[in-house]
Structure 1
Amino acid sequence: MSDLWGQRAQAWLDRLAHCTAPGPGVTRLPFTPEHRAAIGVLTELMTQAGLTTHLDAAGTLIGRLEGPDGAPTLLMGSHQDSVREGGAYDGIMGVVLPVLALHKLRDEGVALPYAVEVLAFADEEGVRFPTALMGPRALAGTFDMAALDLRDADNVSLAQAMHDFGLVPEDLPTLRRDPTSVLGWVEVHLEQGPVLESAGNPLGVVTAICGIERHIVTLTGKAAHAGTMPMHLRQDALTAAAEFVLAVEALAKKTTDLLATIGTLQIRPGVVNAVPGTVTLSLEIRAPSDAVRTKAVEALTSQLHRITASRGIAADIQRTYAQPATPCAAAMMAALGEAISGNNQPAPRLASGATHDASAMADLCPVGMIFTTCKGGISHHPGEFVPVDAMQAAIDALCRFLAGWRIT
């Protein structure tokens, strides 16, 4: 099978990778000259595919293929922004591939019974401003206008950055779409993990986007001189924390689809000759099922209090963030799976541990996602790479999906 369209995808992604701030990899933050340059390249790509383009009030570039009069619209796409010193595929590939799929269908003379829009959202990563998913939230009517007052590291507000970019952020509420006019949302994204590559699969169907819960855990013992406090009399907060860290790992390993991470740990007084008196650590739990995540937090809270009680340590656990899981629509999963597999073995299914634009679009319409394999499972890194044949497979699958999707 020819990889012509996959090669075209790589060529466009190479061009887009030059829309970056100086430094390793790709750094493309929202409402910057790099964002403007990416809009220029994507507009060229969309226009060549026969799409009409416009930039909405959220800075989302939209390419539209008209359908029959009064037909609903299928939405596709992803985000154009990157993390600092990230890769050339995360987000932006999910804009390029659906445009090329529409271009391929046009060349083959295939007319669709509905309209299609491909969207390149401005800000999914939340790197420049302490908020994210503005574009899809505006479409779903869930964007909090108070976020416009948030500021970046240079003390520029989100509202000001948008105004400077030529946008009118006050118009964001007008972007809300009528759910009855939208068929659904389809997003293609690199897996950002090693599952597909290790199984030798170029593509997979996403079942859900994991819910996320974060906690700050504080363990309070008693600081003491390391040379004079006997071991059996110590109230060492760090040894209690160490036992808890291992308990977190053990639970996650034995629980299907559960991810648990202790990402930060601070020790006080934090000197070489003192028994640690206080330890503060972060606990993050992710799972594609809210019930699984909730049960894990309950189990770990119980474990924490058992560990600390046995060691004479006080414990406090406070939830700081919670995001529910986003299940993908069954009909979307079935159609995308059939488009990937054809007459071969069923397409692999896997949950996404990372958040995507689809998680916000789910408040508007049914969502579905395709994952592509990525080399070494690496993402958010200059070494991020998706093989040409995987991108070709994704374009072919999108073509089959688009041609076969029926309005219900």
Structure 2
Amino acid sequence: MPEKAGSLLAADEDSIAGARRRVMARCDELARVSSTPGSIERVYLSAEHARVNRIVAGWMSEIGMTTWQDAAGNQVGRIGPANGDQDRPALLLGSHLDTVPNAGRYDGIVGVLVALEVVRLLRARPVHAAVSLPFALEVVAFSDEEGTRFGRALLGSSAVAGQWEPSWWQLTDADGVTLRDAFVTFGLDPERVREAARSPDELIGYLEAHIEQGPELDQRGEALAVVSSIASARRFQLAVEGESRHAGGTPYDIRRDALLGASEAALAVERICRAEHHIIGTVGQLEAFPGAVNVVPGEARLSLDLRGEFDGERDRVWTKIASEIDAIMGRRGLHWRAQEVHSARAVYCDPLLQHAVREGIMSTRAPGADNPAVVFSPAGHDGMAIGAITGIGMLFIRNPDGISHHPDEAVAAGDVGHAIQALAESVLQIAADRP
């Protein structure tokens, strides 16, 4: 059984420095693979998706991994354990390569590249090489975490988790192309998508390094944190019905202005959620109809994204919001309805994997330092799907100013170096903890 070897990895400053330089340079290289000149956009089953898969497959092969693109378009690399037993279960490392429109260059991508450097680093050490671990290592570059093209997130990781739904084949993109047709055009066989599924006995866990996508670590002055859970989420489309009338001829006291009712509802979401702990509500879309400059809006539609650390608290706040909207619409003589379009339970990181990540982060800190921060993730991640088949663990990397899903998204090379060391140490800790 391998022993934990924090001092060895910590002392290998040249290897860590080279690894972090590669990650930063490769983030820049992948940023040039985009469907939109002047910005970054890579969506599922596109030519850009195929290109980054080929590039990353080359990097996997370079460090001795066997590579393949699975039946859902995820790119995977594997290196087996020391005894040559290729049937041994694997520890998955990875993240995603797809992006939102006008994206930053680090969300997801850093996690894939850090995982590759962990494999390289462990293989370079004769005593603690990856091939001496009692399990296989796999790096997976998921293909559709964001859901940008077809409006359904986590398609790639859901396929790996065996959760692919037949109804998804009818999803369409902005051009009317169905998911099924996009599969065929990409060169995948829709009838074989379930071959991407992994069974629980094939895996011992999943670890992911990811930029935080928020300012908490930056505010704390800490480079890395242990993730405790991924937030539960519910999404709604709300419709408010009033009455369209002439803008000039309708007195205020008889107006039933749907847009004002929707606006007041949006402000109520902010007010209620600001008063709650770890509950985040966002109205990201608001439309008025008929949309004429001289007509009182008779209908308004708005979205609501509601997230929380705990399912019960999230649901309690939704009940509170709905009650407040009832009151608003009653005062204004309006009617409203809500359609739930997405629901996901909170996913909790495995305690043993959290411990391994904590130990990994501690190896990057001075002796006697305090334990690293433990935070929950309000953003969704592929671990939400993978948690259905194996335990998950996550490591957050500081994101200066907390901005993400934006070209100004950033991460410091030094923090990336700490993340590489911490994730490698986490792998060694998991190996040491296994019977």
Determine if the TM-score, normalized by the shorter chain, exceeds 0.5. yes
Q: Give the letter for the 2:119 counterpart.
A: L
- The equivalent of 2:241 in structure 1 is 220
Q: Kindly tell me: are residues 164 and 321 of structure 1, through their superposed partners in 2, closer, same or farther at Cα, counting changes over 3 Å? A: closer
> What is the rounded CA distance, in whole Å, between the counterparts of 2:332 and 2:178 in structure 1?
48
Tell me which of 147, 163, 187 is aligned to 2:168. 147
Q: Give the letter for the 1:216 counterpart.
A: Q
- The equivalent of 1:255 in structure 2 is 276
2:75 corresponds to 1:50:
no
Matched position secondary structure for 1:391: helix
> What is the rounded CA distance, in whole Å, between the counterparts of 1:314 and 1:35 in structure 2?
44
2:395 corresponds to 1:378:
no
Q: Which runs of 5+ in 1 are unaligned?
A: none
**CA deviation string 1:74-102 (max 9, x = no partner):** 11111122223322212222111011011
2:101 corresponds to 1:84:
yes
- The equivalent of 2:9 in structure 1 is none
> What is the rounded CA distance, in whole Å, between the counterparts of 2:250 and 2:32 in structure 1?
60
Give matches, 1:27-42, under 5 Å: 27-42=41-56
Q: Give the letter for the 1:346 counterpart.
A: N
> What is the rounded CA distance, in whole Å, between the counterparts of 1:87 and 1:399 in structure 2?
25
Tell me which of 83, 92, 100 is aligned to 1:75. 92
Tell me which of 320, 326, 329 is aligned to 1:308. 329
Tell me which of 99, 123, 128 is aligned to 2:149. 128
Q: Kindly tell me: are residues 248 and 171 of structure 1, through their superposed partners in 2, closer, same or farther at Cα, counting changes over 3 Å? A: same
Runs of 4 or more off by more than 6 Å in structure 1?
none
Offset at residue 161 of structure 1 (A): 3.1
> What is the rounded CA distance, in whole Å, between the counterparts of 1:235 and 1:314 in structure 2?
10
Contact 1:183/1:407 (8 A) holds in 2? no
- The equivalent of 2:425 in structure 1 is 400
Q: Give the letter for the 1:88 counterpart.
A: R
Q: Kindly tell me: are residues 14 and 316 of structure 1, through their superposed partners in 2, closer, same or farther at Cα, counting changes over 3 Å? A: closer
Please say which of residues 364-373 and 44-53 is displaced more in the overlay.
44-53
Q: Give the letter for the 2:32 counterpart.
A: H
Contact 2:356/2:427 (8 A) holds in 1? no
> What is the rounded CA distance, in whole Å, between the counterparts of 2:284 and 2:125 in structure 1?
50
**CA deviation string 1:88-133 (max 9, x = no partner):** 2122221110110111111122132211110112222222233332
> What is the rounded CA distance, in whole Å, between the counterparts of 2:289 and 2:172 in structure 1?
32
> What is the rounded CA distance, in whole Å, between the counterparts of 2:159 and 2:300 in structure 1?
40
> What is the rounded CA distance, in whole Å, between the counterparts of 1:199 and 1:155 in structure 2?
46
- The equivalent of 2:7 in structure 1 is none
> What is the rounded CA distance, in whole Å, between the counterparts of 1:22 and 1:243 in structure 2?
37
Tell me which of 94, 99, 110 is aligned to 1:93. 110
Contact 2:231/2:379 (8 A) holds in 1? yes
Matched position secondary structure for 2:35: coil
- The equivalent of 2:120 in structure 1 is 103
Q: Kindly tell me: are residues 237 and 391 of structure 1, through their superposed partners in 2, closer, same or farther at Cα, counting changes over 3 Å? A: same
Contact 2:235/2:340 (8 A) holds in 1? yes
> What is the rounded CA distance, in whole Å, between the counterparts of 2:243 and 2:20 in structure 1?
61
Offset at residue 144 of structure 1 (A): 1.4
Offset at residue 268 of structure 1 (A): 4.0
Give matches, 1:116-195, under 5 Å: 116-195=137-216
Offset at residue 274 of structure 1 (A): 4.9
Offset at residue 63 of structure 1 (A): 0.8
Q: Kindly tell me: are residues 269 and 27 of structure 1, through their superposed partners in 2, closer, same or farther at Cα, counting changes over 3 Å? A: closer
Please say which of residues 322-331 and 293-302 is displaced more in the overlay.
322-331
Matched position secondary structure for 1:249: helix
Matched position secondary structure for 1:36: helix
- The equivalent of 1:325 in structure 2 is 346
Matched position secondary structure for 1:255: coil
> What is the rounded CA distance, in whole Å, between the counterparts of 1:385 and 1:139 in structure 2?
29
- Cα-Cα RMSD: 2.3
> What is the rounded CA distance, in whole Å, between the counterparts of 2:104 and 2:370 in structure 1?
31
> What is the rounded CA distance, in whole Å, between the counterparts of 1:276 and 1:29 in structure 2?
35
Among all aligned residue pairs of Structure 1 and Structure 2, give the percentage whose two residues are the same amino acid: 35
> What is the rounded CA distance, in whole Å, between the counterparts of 2:75 and 2:295 in structure 1?
57
Offset at residue 210 of structure 1 (A): 1.6
Q: Which runs of 5+ in 2 are unaligned?
A: 1-12
Offset at residue 22 of structure 1 (A): 4.3
> What is the rounded CA distance, in whole Å, between the counterparts of 1:386 and 1:104 in structure 2?
21
Offset at residue 171 of structure 1 (A): 1.6
Q: Give the letter for the 1:332 counterpart.
A: L
TM-score (norm 1): 0.92
> What is the rounded CA distance, in whole Å, between the counterparts of 2:186 and 2:243 in structure 1?
54
Contact 2:247/2:295 (8 A) holds in 1? yes
Give matches, 1:349-368, under 5 Å: 349-368=374-393
Contact 1:288/1:326 (8 A) holds in 2? no
